[in-house]
């Protein structure tokens, strides 16, 4: 078959320069399709919780839609509903101890993803040096690359547990590095950075005039050390942006609700850009979470305890499989075990587990240090995870 672009696309489309390459596609799309085709597969591949969002929040959202006075089905301002920005500011103060200005320094976004998209658009120019984690969340690298940035990496430490040590970051932070991204707790490892480590990174970044993005979307899932936000180390937001989201903590990935906290100048830049990109963040999600957030503590503690217990139980099961190394996760909702000892590549493990009825994500999608590893999502009820764990055991121990 003739596969020249002309024949496939026709005259007009073949003149269009591809904006993205198929290689940029995250492995999630293919995985979702496979899972839909085989409903009995246990899905540990996706980066989202399968437990329910808070009942109260769902009820508020349903009644909000019918509210004829507030008119919540319409656009909100691009920056976000004032009530949502104020709720996010109160939440931030509870989490970090720092008061932020809800009018000037918060932008409500279509998930943390849009906040990161806007941040890279505004901050980066072709050739800028960007320092990212290895292993780390793939879309962050894609976003920076799309701006023409040159990617550099700091490695996470893998011992008994995965950990984000500050030394490898500090060693690479030098004048000329435009942006460093810290994601704690981390996707895919669950690694965390200590408060002191984060303070040192933010301080050094001020000296080298490097901008810091602290991606805190897994803030609710901190187990073996307390969650540390970067905000207390640069409360004036001179060279720091916080990215946060309710996707993971409230199990509402599909509602698309996140926010950025940054310097008023940056927020204005992102706000103007967003206007022509998404106009506003889904209105019903904003109205409902704004009403619910102050009473979310019990739910948040419950899902954090569930994930912590899942992490502990699954780690034990994985460690008992000969040849598997499973560093503990300090937080987050993933385990990132290595199968190097079994002589298997990431993709070989993915395929073997898929044949055994469990979908997982290849570690190689998260950087060179992810090779021979896979990512297992634990954010589900234990009964579901246990079935998957037993299938993993069987698939890896049968010859
Ligand atoms: C590290 C990290 N940052 C940001 C996001 C964005 O999440 P959302 O756009 O759903 O808020 C994700 C989602 O998987 C993530 O893992």
- The pLDDT profile of the chain, 399 residues, written as one tens digit per residue, is 445 555 677 888 888 888 888 777 766 666 667 677 777 899 999 999 999 999 999 999 999 999 887 788 999 999 999 999 999 999 999 999 999 999 999 999 999 999 999 999 999 999 999 999 999 999 999 999 999 999 999 999 999 999 999 999 999 999 999 999 999 999 999 999 999 999 999 999 999 999 999 999 999 999 999 999 999 999 999 999 999 999 999 999 999 999 999 999 999 999 999 999 999 999 999 999 999 999 999 999 999 999 999 999 999 999 999 999 999 999 999 999 999 999 999 999 999 999 999 999 999 999 999 999 999 999 999 999 999 999 999 999 986
Q: Would you say residue 64 lies in a domain?
A: no
Residue owning the nearest CA to atom 4 of ligand 1:
112
Pairing assessment for the beta strands 129-134 and 150-155 based on DSSP bridges = parallel
Q: Would you say residue 65 lies in a domain?
A: no
Q: Would you say residue 308 lies in a domain?
A: yes
CATH number of the domain within which 13 lies: 3.90.1150.10
| Domain stop point among 295, 326, 355 | 295
For ligand 1, what atom is nearest to the CA of residue 116? 4
For ligand 1, what atom is nearest to the CA of residue 258? 11
Q: Are 106 and 100 in contact (CB under 8 A)?
A: yes
DSSP state of 72: T
Domain identity same for 167 and 201: yes
Q: Would you say residue 331 lies in a domain?
A: yes
Q: Would you say residue 321 lies in a domain?
A: yes
Domain identity same for 183 and 273: yes
| Domain stop point among 266, 295, 324 | 295
Q: Would you say residue 207 lies in a domain?
A: yes
Q: Would you say residue 136 lies in a domain?
A: yes
Bridge partner list, 373: 338
Ligand 1 midpoint to CA 193 (Å): 18
**Model-level pTM?**
0.94
DSSP 293-307: GGG-HHHHHHHHHHH
Query: Distance between CA atoms of 330 and 192, rounded to whole angstroms?
Result: 6
Does the C-beta of 111 come closer than 6 Å to ligand 1? yes
Assigned token pair, 122: 């505004």
Residues 6 or more apart from 387 whose CB is under 8 A from it? 42
Biggest CA-to-CA distance, the chain:
65
Ligand 1 midpoint to CA 347 (Å): 23
Domain identity same for 255 and 106: yes
Ligand 1 midpoint to CA 11 (Å): 38
Pocket residue to mutate for ligand 1, from 247, 259, 260, 333, most atoms within 8 A of Cβ: 247
Ligand 1 midpoint to CA 248 (Å): 8
Q: Is the dihedral of CA 276, 17, 128, 257 positive or negative?
A: positive
* Chain CA centroid to CA 190, Å: 11
Query: Distance between CA atoms of 357 and 359, rounded to whole angstroms?
Result: 7
For ligand 1, what atom is nearest to the CA of residue 48? 14
Structural domain boundaries, residue 383: 5-53+298-397
Tally the domains of the chain.
Answer: 2
Ligand 1 midpoint to CA 56 (Å): 24
Domain identity same for 251 and 366: no
Tell which residue, 52, 44, 42, 32, has the closest CA to residue 251. Answer: 52
Residues 6 or more apart from 201 whose CB is under 8 A from it? 166, 169, 170, 173, 180, 182, 193, 212, 230
For ligand 1, what atom is nearest to the CA of residue 47? 14
Given this model, what pLDDT does residue 1 score?
46
Given this model, what pLDDT does residue 30 score?
67
Does the C-beta of 186 come closer than 6 Å to ligand 1? no
Domain identity same for 142 and 263: yes
Domain identity same for 264 and 356: no
Given this model, what pLDDT does residue 7 score?
63
CATH number of the domain within which 235 lies: 3.40.640.10
Does the C-beta of 113 come closer than 6 Å to ligand 1? yes
Domain identity same for 271 and 131: yes
Does the C-beta of 215 come closer than 6 Å to ligand 1? yes
For ligand 1, what atom is nearest to the CA of residue 253? 10
Q: Around Cβ 65, how many Cβ atoms within 10 Å? A: 13
Residue whose tokens read 């509602």 = 255
Query: Distance between CA atoms of 45 and 334, rounded to whole angstroms?
Result: 10
Given this model, what pLDDT does residue 70 score?
77
The string over 67-91, giving b where at least 16 C-beta atoms fall within 10 Å of a residue's C-beta and e elsewhere, is: eeeeebeeebebbbbebbbbbbbeb
For residue 295, count CB atoms less than 10 angstroms from its CB and return exposed for 0-12, middle for 13-18, buried for 19 or more.
exposed
Ligand 1 midpoint to CA 113 (Å): 6
Domain identity same for 107 and 26: no
| Domain stop point among 295, 329, 361 | 295
Domain identity same for 125 and 239: yes
CA distances from 152 to 24, 134, 162, 171 (A): 18, 9, 20, 12
Domain identity same for 216 and 302: no
Q: Around Cβ 183, how many Cβ atoms within 10 Å? A: 27
Q: Would you say residue 9 lies in a domain?
A: yes
Ligand 1 midpoint to CA 96 (Å): 20
For ligand 1, what atom is nearest to the CA of residue 114? 9
Domain identity same for 256 and 170: yes
Q: Is the dihedral of CA 281, 282, 283, 286 positive or negative?
A: negative
Domain identity same for 255 and 315: no
Please provide the distance, in angstroms rounded to a whole number, between the alpha carbons at the two ends of the chain: 41
């Amino acid at each position: 078959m003739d596969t020249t672009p002309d024949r496939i696309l026709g005259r007009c489309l073949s003149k269009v320069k591809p904006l993205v390459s198929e290689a940029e596609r995250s492995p999630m799309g293919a995985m979702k399709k496979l899972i839909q085709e085989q409903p009995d597969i246990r899905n540990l591949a996706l980066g989202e919780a399968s437990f329910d969002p808070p009942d109260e929040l769902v009820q508020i959202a349903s009644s909000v839609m019918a509210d004829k006075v507030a008119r919540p089905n319409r656009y909100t301002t691009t920056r976000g509903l004032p009530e949502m920005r104020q709720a996010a500011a109160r939440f931030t103060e509870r989490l970090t101890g720092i008061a932020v200005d809800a009018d000037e320094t918060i932008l409500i976004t279509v998930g943390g993803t849009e906040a990161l998209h806007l941040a890279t658009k505004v901050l980066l120019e072709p050739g800028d040096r960007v320092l990212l984690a290895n292993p780390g969340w793939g879309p962050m690298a894609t976003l920076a690359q799309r701006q023409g940035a040159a990617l550099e990496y700091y490695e996470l430490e893998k011992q008994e547990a995965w950990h984000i040590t500050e030394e490898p970051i500090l060693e690479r932070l030098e004048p000329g590095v435009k942006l460093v991204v810290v994601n704690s707790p981390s996707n895919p490892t669950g690694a965390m950075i200590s408060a002191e480590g984060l303070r040192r990174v933010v301080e050094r970044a001020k000296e080298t005039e490097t901008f810091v993005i602290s991606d805190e979307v897994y803030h609710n899932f901190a187990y073996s050390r307390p969650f540390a936000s970067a905000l207390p180390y640069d409360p004036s937001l001179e060279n720091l942006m916080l990215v946060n989201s309710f996707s993971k903590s409230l199990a509402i990935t599909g509602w698309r609700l996140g926010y950025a906290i940054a310097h008023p100048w940056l927020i204005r830049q992102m706000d103007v850009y967003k206007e022509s990109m998404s106009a506003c963040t889904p209105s019903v999600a904003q109205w409902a979470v704004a009403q619910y957030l102050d009473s979310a503590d019990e739910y948040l503690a419950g899902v954090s305890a569930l994930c912590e217990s899942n992490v502990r139980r699954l780690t034990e099961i994985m460690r008992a499989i000969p040849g598997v190394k499973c560093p503990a996760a300090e937080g987050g909702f993933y385990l990132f075990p290595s199968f190097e000892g079994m002589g298997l590549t990431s993709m070989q493990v993915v395929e073997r587990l898929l044949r055994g009825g469990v979908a997982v994500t290849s570690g190689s999608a998260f950087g060179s240090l992810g090779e021979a590893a896979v990512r297992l999502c634990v954010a589900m009820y234990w009964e579901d995870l246990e079935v998957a764990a037993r299938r993993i055991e069987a698939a890896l121990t049968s010859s």
